[in-house]
Amino acid sequence: MTEWPVSLRGVTESVVATEGPNDRWNVAALGLHAGDVVTAETWGRTRTRRNFERTGVGNVCFTRDPRFFVEAALAVCETDEPTFPEADARVRVDVTRREAAERDGTPWASWALEPTAVTVSEERVPLTNRGFAAVIEATVAASRLGVDAYDDAVLRRRLEHATAVARRCGGPAERDAIDRVHDLVERP
């Protein structure tokens, strides 16, 4: 049995690449829920959900690059390969739907992720940077804007708070990333 390359706890944010019907890899943010079985949730009829349903596989990548994470979380991001130079580790997973339903008008599904292959390209000393964490929180709030199950006013307050923290506590990469969040949220 293949193991995850890191100890997961709570919800660990990652980036997942799933193969689309156009033979390109869709890249999206994916929260990994720790437990005896690692799970993830998809909300809406996203490309990730459709690709999970169609192929049953994904490539979970762990990254510390806030710019890459923002693009994956909020933009339509496709690549020719499921690997990225920004990833410190990649885990190929088999994906099985555990349940699906609709909540407050939004389709939702829970997925079990079983690692089948692991590649670690770089091990790092862990750092806790409030700016990076704020960028992650900003993408979570921004990705839920317009979803019936969430209150947009509350999400916009969270986004503004996260923006202030990212700009105050982050470095150039985090400041660039939070600016990109706002570019993507404010686009027509």
Phi then psi for 52, rounded to 5 degrees? Answer: -60, -45
Does 173 reside within a domain?
Answer: yes
Q: In which domain, by residue range, is 112 found?
A: 11-120
Does 105 reside within a domain?
Answer: yes
Decide which of 100, 120, 140 is a domain's last residue: 120
What is the DSSP-derived secondary structure letter of residue 143?
A: H
Decide which of 120, 139, 171 is a domain's last residue: 120
Query: 75 versus 105: which is more confidently predicted?
Result: 75
Examine the domain organization and report whether 112 and 159 are in the same domain. no
User: What is the CATH number for 52?
Assistant: 2.30.110.10
Does 125 reside within a domain?
Answer: no
Structure tokens that stand for 9 in this block = 């706890």
Examine the domain organization and report whether 81 and 16 are in the same domain. yes
> d(Cα 181, Cα 143) in Å, to the nearest integer?
10
Examine the domain organization and report whether 75 and 147 are in the same domain. no
User: What is the CATH number for 145?
Assistant: 1.20.58.290
Does 5 reside within a domain?
Answer: no
Examine the domain organization and report whether 21 and 107 are in the same domain. yes
Does 6 reside within a domain?
Answer: no
* Dihedral angle sign, alpha carbons of residues 175, 179, 180, 185: positive
Beta strands in the chain (DSSP E): 11-19, 25-33, 38-43, 57-63, 77-79, 87-103, 106-120
Express each pLDDT in 95-145 by its tens digit. 999 999 998 888 999 999 999 999 999 888 777 899 999 999 999 999 999
Tell me what the pLDDT averaged over the chain comes to. Answer: 94
Q: Quick one: average pLDDT of 53-67?
A: 96
Does 157 reside within a domain?
Answer: yes
Residue with tokens 């890191």: 6
Domain count, the chain: 2
158: helix, strand or coil: helix
Examine the domain organization and report whether 69 and 20 are in the same domain. yes
**DSSP string of 45-71, one letter each residue:** S-HHHHHHHHHSEEEEEEE--HHHHHH
